[in-house]
Structure 1
Amino acid sequence: MEDDPLASEAGFAGLGLRDELLRSLTNLGYEEPTPIQREAIPPLVAGHDLVGQAATGTGKTAAFALPVLQRLTAGRADAGPAALVLVPTRELAEQVSQAVHRYGRELDVRVLPVYGGQPIGRQLQALRRGVDVVVGTPGRVLDHIERETLRLGDVRTVVLDEADEMLDMGFAEDIEAILAETPADRQTVLFSATMPPRIDSIARRHLRDPVRITMGRKAVAPDELPLVRQSAYMVARAHRTAALGRILDVEAPSAAIVFCRTREEVDQVTEALNGRGYRAEALHGGMSQDQRDRVMGRLRGGTTELLVATDVAARGLDVEQLTHVINFNVPAAPEAYVHRIGRVGRAGREGCAITLAEPREQRMLKAIERLTGQRITLEKLPTVTDLRARRLELTRAALQNSLETDDLERYRVVLDSLTGEFDAENVALAAIRLLHEAAGGDADEEEIPSPAAAPRERAPRPAGGGRDRPGVTRLFFNIGRRAGLRPQDLVGAIAGESGLSAREIGAIQITDRFALVEVPESAADMVIMAMRRSTIRGRRPTVRRERLVR
């Protein structure tokens, strides 16, 4: 988990925390507060509002969770929560909820995660019994408010965690509606990995003279810098899956995450990798929480070596065994790249970040380099000769390991019988060939053409004629303002069900009876199929390409 930073009782005692929290931290084996905890906890304990810019891995969950627990009244029996934490995903809701429970164990804190995809009956029972801290996604929290099963009149602290991600997912109006239900004199805490203007706008409207803190990744000494090798391969779109398999064969990662943009892409890549002999698992928003938990258990247990995931599904995940992060596409924003590669190279461990890109995306790679201050090396895609050499090296390594660790005596009878008839060297070569072929050997491979040599892809003709922009299609939804439809409803539904990122959704036009939404032409069919299984504002919409009357 992100927030198991080491911290000692002595280190935290200087931050003014109560004895029960200090004992919990000591029992958890923490030693020293991280920089963001050291700077954020004192002003939060004192009751100030706070805006913090912090990346994953800096310890920010403890930075706001400990002050929230500090401010709880002993023996509190109120049914309504004293603190509300809003997060973008169910994974993060569970992660933060577990952290608050661990830190507040000696306070008998009542913590409830609320999110979609979980039986609402269980949440209703817990809310009736009474809770101290609610950690939830905006949609489900607002749902409880509208049902009048969650009352926020006693809330003393509201935390907006991963605020930039919540806005990208279309939750801006939901957040505004939720904040309107909380007391005006509440303490408000906002954490975000990036600080675009709209985050500043929220801070100006809802926070009172906030303390501002900016933190990068966890600071380390120069000789302990994370060893993350960053590289990119230029590959035409049509050959991207084959290139991914080739790179994985050469890199041979112990455990890796492959990031894709959409659910459909996750499923396609997972199937292709399994067909190549890898143990790959998909992770995306179309899966139940139980399915996700099983996938993560297999990855951490070593029975799966590759996780293929969307950004939202992988948000907040920290897997210690990871050696590689691979971007199947160039991320839509440089900040997303930083979030992804932060999952490897922690605590001095070696790691590798690899990106597959098209020539037209080199400007985005340059933007990433400017943001990170680090160079992304352009590599040449491994050739068939490179791949065969790598496979021979793996065969040699397997043989060396067997010679050093295995009991080989029981095979001597086979060797003696063969060397009586054949030369010992030829016997050894035949055995090596069988081992090599059993491991995949020199399976037929075709050279992957360089992007310059690849045929130029023709831009698809937009559906509906000349009014559409090249590469963009308008989709028709038979639901509009009369049904209470808002732009964020469409963005949230499309991003949540299809896996398309909020940044890839274009202009939205809503009339009384219908709505038009721009999406990439390449994703139009996927969005249409995904929307047929979903509901918006309680209705299952009809979705199709816009038909224009000529």
Structure 2
Amino acid sequence: MDEDLATSTDAGFAGLGLRPELLRALADLGYEEPTPIQREAITPLIAGHDLVGQAATGTGKTAAFALPLLQSLEAGGSDSPTALVLVPTRELAEQVSQAVHRYGRDLNVRVLPVYGGQPISRQLHVLRRGVDVVVGTPGRILDHIERETLQLDAVRTVVLDEADEMLDMGFAEDIEAILAETPTERQTVLFSATMPPRIDAIARRHLREPLRIRMGRDTSAADALPTVRQSTYLVARAHKTAALGRILDVEMPTAAIVFCRTREEVDEVTESLNGRGYRAEALHGGLSQDQRDRVMGRLRGGSTELLVATDVAARGLDVEQLTHVINYNVPSAPEAYVHRIGRVGRAGRTGAAITLAEPREQRMLKAIERLTGQRIALEKLPTVTDLRARRLDLVRTTVQDAMSADDLDRFRSVLASLTDDADLETVALAGLKLLHEANGGDVDEQEIPAIAPMREREDRGRDSRGPGSDRFDDRRPGRGRSGSGPVTRVFVGLGRRAGLRPQDLVGAIAGEAGLPARDVGAIQITDRFSLVEVPEADAERVIRALSHSTIRGRRPTVRRDRPNH
């Protein structure tokens, strides 16, 4: 077995010119053959070329840039880092850092993840001792540069990972400022799931005759998801938790990830599912790395069947036995949908991707269909009758499976004593009743109201308003926000004098509080302070997160706005 693995590894990764220490690490990790992005990228990166790669989550791009980065690394040779990797989130910073450490363990590589929400004193201590590779979020990296605690003049390689995500979070100017601190004669590598014009503009400004590799949209969309069953259910917000439980009862996944937008939503859904009898675990940025590792260990070990997570916390995760990905909300960006459901379609695995959509989110589903080139089937929510039938079917299949067991003889004496007073059919029916009750018994739930698809509602609306009208209803889209609920203004004690920009606030709120950038409302920046609108339901979470974060190198005063500033 070991000889087969070594031969396969030598034929695959050794052919790319990697040093023996890296080949040993790859063999020990069980890596046998490079993925397409690794095969295309590693050799030119080792040769020193700049590179632009379009690659989605799950294609192996971390190893594609980490292995060449380690190939030429002289670990411990300098107190200042020789490689810098910029990532959009603290979760990804941890994951990339761990990957670099695993690949470079025989090289004694010194890797430091740098991100907000972690005590800066710990990062300062490690930086003073010296590091080889820094992996961090733009805001915290710039923070260290301004404090003069991170010197980048020795950097030979810069990697921009998930570049489109960093720009969406408002880090464009931070990236420009960071690159200005690195030597001009450096190798620059850029990976992005999508290639909008602004990404191409960064590549033209900062990369020198880069090699371009495209494995993103085609791989992450239609071609990568042929075995994933995609479906959506229309449900009002008030009934979403009940709908989720009912869908899970019918689908019965072996292992599933339920994606939510916020930490609070993750906790609420987790509690609800556990109350329904599922073994569900929460995974979000509020957990320590040890806690996240234990959660993932229980999921992979089978003691947990449902993982309820935010995008940030779940980025980069790959679970072999995953059968279902469930979107508790429609993702705000079509690319995010592709990244999520790609987890269940990796390596030719089959599975299901299910989305719970509120009526106002139907147009977002159309945008996803345009990106993937695939139709998302609109399904009817299971009724109480459907659920009762499913549970009876579960009883039947459970008994059928038990009938093939080879240890049934020990129950013959019990059966004989029971049939002394009752016929065999009555005994069997009583056993089936007990098994049915152990599986939840008869369903005693209210029916969930059905919602007509948007097209039907539009048609009815035109009929009622007369010819020529194409309005859907009387709602108006919010400015800068996706929801229509109440908002509140948050006071942040930093303003123009501190160099604060709107994107700094949006990036901090998205990165630290987990609030989608599209849910951030109007921003007003004065000389001394700033005001930002956020949903009322998320205000306290945003205040807590920003109060423990640094923005533009400072920890601001953050509170609810008081009028008459």
TM score, norm. by length of structure 2: 0.86
Distance in 2 (CA, whole Å) between partners of 1:383 and 1:115 is: 46
Q: How far apart are 1:111 and its partner, in Å?
A: 2.4
Among 514, 525, 539, the alignment partner of 2:537 is: 525
Q: Which amino acid aligns with 2:379?
A: E
Cα distance in 2 for residues equivalent to 1:370 and 1:317: 26
Tell whether the 8 Å contact from 2:228 to 2:345 is kept in structure 1 after alignment. Answer: yes
Whether the 8 Å CA contact 2:267–2:282 is kept in 1: the answer is yes
* 2-structure distance, mates of 1:26, 1:244: 41
CA contact (8 A) 1:286 1:497 kept: no
Q: CA deviation at 1:315?
A: 1.0
Cα distance in 1, alignment partners of residues 289 and 173 from structure 2? 26
Q: Which residue of 2 aligns with 1:115?
A: 115
CA 1:12–1:437: 2 relative to 1, 3 Å: closer
Counterpart in the other structure of 2:340: 340
How far does the alpha carbon of each residue in 1:474-503 deviate from its partner, in whole angstroms, 9 at most, with x for none?
A: 624253324543223321332234422113
Does the aligned pair in 1 maintain the 2:80–2:151 contact within 8 Å? yes
Separation in structure 1 between the aligned mates of residue 483 and residue 28 of structure 2, nearest angstrom: 59
Matches within 5 A, 1:97-136: 97-136=97-136
Per the alignment, residue 445 of structure 1 pairs with: 445
2:483–2:519 contact (8 Å) kept in structure 1? no
C-alpha distance 469-154 of structure 1, shift in aligned 2 (>3 A): closer
Q: Distance in 2 between matches of 1:334 and 1:183?
A: 36
Q: Which amino acid aligns with 1:201?
A: A
User: Given the alignment, which residue of 481, 485, 491 partners 1:477?
Assistant: 491
Q: Per the alignment, in what secondary structure is the counterpart of residue 266 of structure 1?
A: helix
3-state SS in 1 of match to 2:343: coil
Displacement of 1:332 in angstroms is 0.6
String of CA shifts for 1:348-375, please: whole Å, max 9, x gaps. 2221100111334332222212211222
Per-residue CA distance 1:69-112 (angstroms, 9 max, x = gap): 22224x75211111111122333223222322333334333322
Equivalence for 1:8: 9
Q: Which residue of 2 aligns with 1:505?
A: 520
1:542 corresponds to: 559
Task: Give the distance between the partners of 1:196 and 1:101, measured in 2 at CA.
Answer: 32
Q: Write out the 4+ residue segments of structure 1 that deviate beyond 6 Å after TM superposition.
A: 217-220, 222-225, 453-463
Which piece of structure 1 moves more, 331-340 or 126-135? 126-135
Cα pair 2:225 2:342 within 8 Å, conserved? no
Q: Which residue of 2 aligns with 1:96?
A: 96
Q: Secondary structure at the match of 1:307?
A: strand
Distance 1:313 1:472, change over 3 A: same
Q: Would you say 1:208 and 2:208 are equivalent positions?
A: yes
Aligned CA RMSD, in angstroms, stands at 3.3
Deviation at 1:35, TM superposition (A): 1.8
Give yes or no for contact 2:51–2:188 (8 Å, CA) kept in 1: yes
Structure 2 partner of 1:231: 231
Q: Distance in 2 between matches of 1:243 and 1:470?
A: 22
List gaps (5 residues or longer) in structure 1.
none
Aligned length: 535
Q: How does 1:148-159 map to 2 (within 5 A)?
A: 148-159=148-159
The residue that corresponds to 2:369 in the other structure is: 369
Q: CA contact under 8 A between 2:92 and 2:316: conserved in structure 1?
A: yes
Structure 1 residue 414 displacement after superposition? 3.5
Measure the CA separation in 1 of the matches of 2:124 and 2:278.
Answer: 43
Given that 2:90 and 2:116 are in contact with CA atoms closer than 8 Å, whether structure 1 keeps it comes out as: yes
Residue 260 of structure 2 corresponds to: 260
2:461 equivalent in structure 1: none
**CA deviation after TM superposition for structure 1 residue 225, in Å:** 7.1
Aligned partner of residue 394 in structure 1, secondary structure? helix
Alpha-carbon distance in 2 for matches of 1:29, 1:317: 17
Q: Paired residue for 1:48?
A: 49
User: Partner of 2:175: helix, strand, or coil?
Assistant: helix
The code of the aligned residue for 1:39 comes to E
Alignment correspondent of 1:176: 176
- The whole-number CA distance in structure 2 between the counterparts of 1:105 and 1:478 is 43
How far does residue 223 in structure 1 lie from its aligned partner after superposition?
12
Q: For 1:319-346, what per-residue CA distance to the aligned partner results, in whole angstroms no more than 9, with x for missing partners?
A: 1121100011111111010000011022
- Determine the C-alpha separation between the residues in 2 that align with 1:129 and 1:66: 24
On the 8 A contact 1:11/1:33 being kept in 2, the answer is yes
* 1:300 and 1:321 in contact (8 A); partners too: yes
When residues 84 and 405 of structure 1 are mapped into structure 2, their CA distance, relative to the original with a 3 A threshold, is same
Residue matched to 1:489? 504
Partner of 1:164: 164
Among candidates 500, 507, 516, match of residue 531 of structure 2? 516
* Equivalent pair of 2:492/2:557 in contact (CA under 8 Å): no
Which one-letter code corresponds to 2:129 in the other structure?
R
CA distance in 1: counterparts of 2:473 and 2:446, whole angstroms = 20
C-alpha distance in 1 between matches for 2:196 and 2:280:
35
Percent identity between matched residues is 75
